[in-house]
Each structure stands twice: as C-alpha cells, then as structure tokens.
Chains A and B, each alone.
Chain A
Amino acid sequence: MAEAVLSNPRIILLLEHFNIYVPLYEKTIADICNEKHIDTKLFIAFANLYNGVEYTSPVHFNFDQVNQIIRFLKNSHTYYTAEIYPDISSIIREMYTSNGQKEISMVEEFFNEYFHEVMEHLNYEDEIAFPYMTSLYEHIEKDMPFTESTKYSVKDYKDHHNDIEEKLADLKNLLVKYLPPTNDQQKRRRLYLSLHELEYDLNIHAIIEDMILIPLVERMEQSVKQPG
C-alpha cells in the first residue's frame, strides 16, 4: 500500500476517506482492506479514479457495499466542510487583508455564496439521500416491503454536481487569467493549488456518486419489495 501513496501522493487523501492513515508499514493493499473490512475490489476501483484512470468499464457492486460507499462519501464531506473549504476561504481573506483590492472582496463574496450552496447540497445528501439509500438497503436485507415515499430525485443530484464544478472553474479562471496583479504571489499560488486539490477530489466524488452509487441504488429500487 505504501508504494501506492509514494507513487501518487493523492492516494493519501483517498485513504483518509476510507479511514486509513499513515504509517502503512509493509502492509499490502489486501492486508489493510481486510483489517478495515473494505472490499478490495471497491478499494481498487476508487484508487484507479485517483490515479486518473477513466471509469469506462463499470464494476459490478453488490447491494451490501452501499454503506461502505456512503461512509467514504461522508468522510469526503467532512474533508470539504471542515478542511479544504475553510482553508480556501481563509486564503482569500488573507489576500483581501493584505491588499484591500475590491476585486478580491467580490471574489470572497462569490466564494462564500458558493460555499453556502455546496453546504446545502452536502447536507441534502447527508440528511436525505444517504438515509434513504441506507433504509432501502435495510428493507432489501430484511426482505420487507419498502413504503417510504421517494424524497430524493436522481436528476436533482446530477444538476447540483455540474453547478459545483462550474463555479470552481470560474474561480480558477479569474485567479489565473484576470485578477489584477498584486504582490501576494504566494497566497495566489496556495489558493490556486487548494482550488485544484478540491476540484480533483470533487470530480472523483461526482463520478463515484453518478456512475457507481446511483446505478447501484437504481438496481436496489428495482429489487426491493413493493408494498401490497
């Protein structure tokens, strides 16, 4: 496993989302997956995404993996809300404090509004979409008819993702191409790299949800017992 991290530093974040932390010692991927009760096939599929492999040949996941996928996504949410978004927000604040540029204050406002939208989306997933999926799985597991009204829509979900990625790209473009020059190149670089790190993780997050989780949930919906 250590080799995977050494050859691609981004894997360390993937591991965090799986609650795996360094040091990894000489343990293999299989060792660690067994220890943490993670399906190896699922781990490899996600790791491939972090290694930049396109998700073209869908892997068949079983219903019982839905909770593992949700745990991973929830950990990513914590990384967004408690770490990277606040980091970015504070770099923009620092930039504004140091140069007082009006354009930066507009960027700050833009980012804060955007952050608010993202929080709403993540809360929606944590409070409505994920519990719905978990409950769906429990009903299949216990072979019980599923009576809950469908509160979540797959389409809503995908629209949200496009929006989140689009505004992030806007910020990157403004920063790299247009914001007037100032003497805070280091802050700009930190901001750019943080935006990039966030974007990279969000892209994969969206792929996991749209191409792995949603198809799995759709299959679950078809096989759950209908009431009556």
Chain B
Amino acid sequence: MNKQINIIVAESSLLIFEGLSLTINRALAPVHIIHADSLNEIEKHLISLKQSTVIVNPSLIQNNLKLFTSLKNDYPFVKYIALVYAWFDPRVILQFDAVINISDSPDSIIAAIKKVTENDIPTDPGQNGEILSERETDVLKLLASGLSNKEIADKLNISINTVITHRKNISQKTGIKSAQGLTIYAVVKKIITFDNLP
C-alpha cells in the first residue's frame, strides 16, 4: 500500500530540525515533513492532515500537559514521539508512544519512527490486533459470501451447533448480530473483498 507519511516536527532549534529532516528523508521516502513551533501549530496541521506522526521536544509540553492531553484525545490516531536532549520528568515522557534521543544513531532513530508509523495504518489487516480467531474468521468469510449456517458447517466440516457458537462469539466480540451487518464488518476488516460479495 502506497501511503503518504506525514511527520510534524515541533522543535525550536532549526539546526536540529534540519538535521532530523535530512535523516528521515534519506531513509524513508516519500515523507512530508512539516515544522511547527507550538502545540497550537501542531493542532493546526492536524486539522488539515488526516494521519500523521508528531515528533516533539518535550520542553514544549511539560508546562502544557493539559493542552497536550486534550490534543491526544481529539486526534486519537496520531502518534507522538519525544525528541529528547535533556532530562525530563518521566511522567512527561510516559505521554509519548516512543522516544528518540538526540545522541541516537540515525538507524535507531529511523527504526523508532518506522515502528510508530507502521502501527499507524489501521486498514492493514492483521496489524490492527484482529480480535477474531482464525476459525471465527473462516466462518465470517463464508457467512459474508452469503452461505447459510448449514452450508458453512458442510464446507468447514463442523456441526451446525459449532457454527452457531462461532457466530455467537463473533457477535459478542463485534457487537454486530445480523448477517448484513457482519458482511459490512468483514469488508471493512478486509476479511472479504467487494468482488466476493453475493
């Protein structure tokens, strides 16, 4: 999947910003890097960008924890990386998804950013902590392609009762009970594609 990565960097030293941008661009193309000076500016960028990762110097946050928390609540899909070159209160550092230190090697900085941005792709099946078991996924796939409980049982070589138990568990985990609702769920989760719909 070709996905534009947006990274907002909030760091007051231009030298460090430029150095970091260069490091990132060399390793991870194409990346759109935006500079920000304050939390308010970060928010301004977040409004226009759908998905991004934010790298912040924690000094911007330590006296603005409240604003930072509300920013995190308002944009729950955004990941935050601390860019550290001094000692900070661990309670501040705990607010971040990852930490990079200015003395880290370029490779480990890139690895940290990669790890955070890759976890960030919600449409990628399998990476988003699938909650259904393998067997439940099999049942759902057949159900979504229009098969009855009996047909699913025959196809998977299990009893109808087992199919019903799987369906109950699927409904309990997803909150969705009807076959049509579960079909939409299966499409969203890429368990089935549009072409396979009945």
Query: A residues touching B (Cβ–Cβ < 8 Å)?
Result: 102-103, 106-107, 110, 113, 166-167, 169-171, 173-174, 177-181, 183
Chain B 175-198 interface residues, beta-carbon cutoff 8 Å to A: 175-178, 180-181, 183-185, 187-189, 194
At the interface, yes or no: B123 with Cβ under 8 Å from chain A? yes
CA distance A180 to B175 in the complex (A): 17
**Interface membership of chain B positions 156-187, coded 1 if the CB is closer than 8 angstroms to chain A and 0 otherwise:** 00000000000000000011111011011101
Cβ-based interface call for B91 (8 A): no
Taking Cβ atoms with an 8 Å cutoff, the residues of B that contact A are 50, 77, 122-123, 174-178, 180-181, 183-185, 187-189, 194
CB-CB under 8 A for A174 and B50, given A167-B181, A181-B122? no
Contacting residues, chain A, for B122 (C-beta < 8 A): 180-181
Tally of contacts, chain A with chain B, CB under 8 A: 51
A174 engages B177 (CB within 8 Å): no
Q: What residues of B have a CB within 8 angstroms of the CB of A102 in the complex?
A: 187, 194
Across the interface, do A167 and B50 meet the contact criterion of CB distance under 8 Å? no
* Structural contact, B184 and A181, CB atoms closer than 8 A: no
Indicate which residue in B50, B175, B187 contacts A103 across the interface (CB closer than 8 Å).
B187
Contact of B194 with A167 in the complex, beta carbons under 8 Å: no
A178→B184 CA distance, assembly (Å): 9
Contact of B185 among A113, A178, A181 (CB under 8 A): A178
Known: A180-B122, A181-B50, A183-B50. A103 touches B188 (CB 8 A): yes
Q: Provide 17 A-B residue pairs closer than 8 Å at the C-beta atoms, listed in order of the A residue.
A: A103-B184, A103-B188, A106-B184, A106-B187, A107-B184, A166-B177, A170-B181, A171-B181, A173-B176, A173-B181, A174-B184, A174-B185, A174-B188, A177-B174, A177-B175, A179-B188, A180-B188
B178, B180, B181, most chain A CB atoms within 10 A: B181
What residues on B are CB-neighbors of A169 within 8 Å?
175, 177
Q: Which residues of B contact A178 (CB under 8 A)?
A: 174, 184-185, 188-189
> Across the interface, do A110 and B123 meet the contact criterion of CB distance under 8 Å?
no
Which residues of A are found within 8 Å of B181, using beta-carbon distances? 110, 167, 170-171, 173-174
